[in-house]
Amino acid sequence: MKAIVYREYGSPDVLEFQDLEKPIIKSDEVLVKVHAASVNWLYWHFLRGKPFLARFMSGLLKPKNKVLGIDLAGRVEEVGANVKQFQPDDEVFGSTSHGCFAEYVCVSEEEIVTRPNNLTIESAAAVPGAATPALQALRDLGKIQPGHRALINGASGGVGTFAIQIAKSFGAEVTGVCSTSNLDMVRSIGADQVIDYIEEDFTLDGQRYDLIFDTVAKRSFTDC
């Protein structure tokens, strides 16, 4: 199979388009033919091995996984004997630790879900990494409820744009904080109010919220 491979840390020049062996599934794995994979800023750290701390995840001296890429969408090609939830030709999306900038990748059942028909392959591949922390923060940690007043700081970013839409889907009244040029976009994805952080400090305007999700950790807990 074709894959984008790197064997040493460096600039994008270390990436090579190469032939690799097609992966072989274990009994509890699913082989997915990758149709779309998204690019996350995290891979910039994994590609360069910088900051050095990133190497505790990507490998100390050289990359331990020669294929980058975590979030993907594609079609199930083959399933292991113990796989219960999927069968060949299922359309799926999810995340993998095995690298998905490749034609095929082996994933566990827990790493993928069925792709709904109303989500394009490309959109599905952009969901997992950024949407999951938004869902975890709002639903699991924040216990967001209909009617809650929620504020999303960093509303125009990867995590923030999902957070706005997820908070709205829970029936919350949502305020998004971002810079001037992104106010209209944040409104367009559902924010009831928007605050321009360049002009205004949301911690000083007298408003109170049931839930504040600071996606960018720009404000202290006490300020919030």
Ligand X SMILES: NC(=O)c1ccc[n+]([C@@H]2O[C@H](COP(=O)([O-])OP(=O)(O)OC[C@H]3O[C@@H](n4cnc5c(N)ncnc54)[C@H](OP(=O)(O)O)[C@@H]3O)[C@@H](O)[C@H]2O)c1
Q: Which residues bind ligand X (CB under 6 A)?
A: 40, 129-130, 133, 153-154, 156-160, 177-179, 182, 197, 215-216, 218
What is the pairing mode between strands 173-178 and 193-196? parallel
- Judged by CB, which is closer to ligand X: 58, or 215? 215
Cα–Cα dist 107/31, whole Å? 6
- Judged by CB, which is closer to ligand X: 169, or 179? 179
The Cβ of residue 197 has, within 10 Å, a number of other Cβ atoms equal to 17
Cα–Cα dist 223/154, whole Å? 16
- Judged by CB, which is closer to ligand X: 80, or 157? 157
The Cβ of residue 86 has, within 10 Å, a number of other Cβ atoms equal to 19
Give the residue carrying structure tokens 């294929």. Answer: 67
Contacts of 151 (CB under 8 A, 6+ apart): 174, 175, 176, 177, 202, 207, 209, 211, 212, 213
Helices marked H in the chain — which ranges? 42-48, 55-58, 121-125, 128-135, 158-169, 183-188
- Judged by CB, which is closer to ligand X: 175, or 182? 182
- Judged by CB, which is closer to ligand X: 79, or 126? 126
